[in-house]
């Protein structure tokens, strides 16, 4: 009777332990330019990290045509002062908006799109085109303050970012 209970628990523990994301510290690609229209640039992979201390808020809003969701996926990434990704999100619908609590410090917000050639909701990231229309801006997060970033992304132009707050 005890074996009938213990074995399923052991099997579940092994299965759950084998699932998950790569180990922290695994190699990551470095980030490229702050503005570009080149389809050959690569975007580094996401590597989240937990930090403690006083926090502020980062609010990012992308102003772009609603039709973008039919042709491309928007990505937003926040990197710390060392260039390490602390937040990354993809947006298959419009508008793309991000609000995150972050430890105070200096960050870089990066945005880009990846064309999907049709219905973006049904495409996996591996099936998207290379990153294009990449732009970025540095922003300071202050304790108990809101830093606002606006991404201006017209239909057929590179994006531009402004920070305030």
Cα distances from 133 to residues 10, 12, 22, 33, 122, in angstroms, run: 49, 44, 28, 11, 22
Q: What is the mean pLDDT of the chain?
A: 76
Query: Which pLDDT value is given to residue 13?
Result: 39
Structure tokens at 33: 């330019």
Task: Summarize pLDDT for 105-140 with one digit per residue, the tens.
Answer: 999 999 999 999 877 888 888 999 999 999 999 999
Largest Cα–Cα distance in the chain?
68
Query: Which pLDDT value is given to residue 74?
Result: 95
Q: Which domains does the chain have, with CATH numbers?
A: 53-165 (2.60.40.10)
| Burial (CB count within 10 angstroms: exposed 0-12, middle 13-18, buried 19+), residue 23 | exposed
pLDDT band at 49; cut points 50, 70, 90: very low
CB 138 within 8 A of CB 83: no
Mean pLDDT check: name the lowest of 18-27, 65-74, 92-101, 154-163.
18-27
Cα distances from 78 to residues 37, 89, 119, in angstroms, run: 20, 9, 27
- Decide which of 30 and 56 is more confident: 56
Mean pLDDT check: name the lowest of 29-38, 97-106, 140-149.
29-38
Structure tokens at 148: 């606002």
Task: Summarize pLDDT for 89-99 with one digit per residue, the tens.
Answer: 999 989 999 99
Query: Which pLDDT value is given to residue 4?
Result: 46
Query: Which pLDDT value is given to residue 112?
Result: 96
Strand partners, 150: 61, 162
């Amino acid at each position: 009777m005890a074996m009938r209970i213990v074995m399923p628990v052991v099997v579940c523990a092994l299965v759950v332990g084998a699932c998950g994301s790569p180990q922290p510290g695994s190699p990551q690609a470095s980030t490229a330019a702050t503005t570009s229209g080149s389809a050959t640039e690569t975007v580094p992979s996401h590597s989240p990290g937990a930090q403690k201390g006083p926090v502020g808020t980062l609010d990012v809003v992308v102003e772009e045509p609603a039709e973008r969701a039919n042709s491309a996926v928007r990505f937003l990434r926040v990197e710390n002062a060392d260039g390490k990704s602390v937040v990354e999100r993809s947006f298959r619908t419009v508008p793309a908006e991000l609000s995150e609590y972050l430890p105070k410090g200096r960050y870089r917000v990066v945005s880009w799109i990846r064309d999907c050639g049709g219905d973006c909701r049904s495409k996996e990231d591996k099936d998207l085109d290379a990153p294009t229309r990449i732009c970025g801006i540095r922003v300071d997060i202050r304790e108990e303050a809101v830093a606002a970033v606006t991404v201006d992304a017209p239909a057929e132009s590179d994006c531009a970012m402004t920070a305030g707050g």
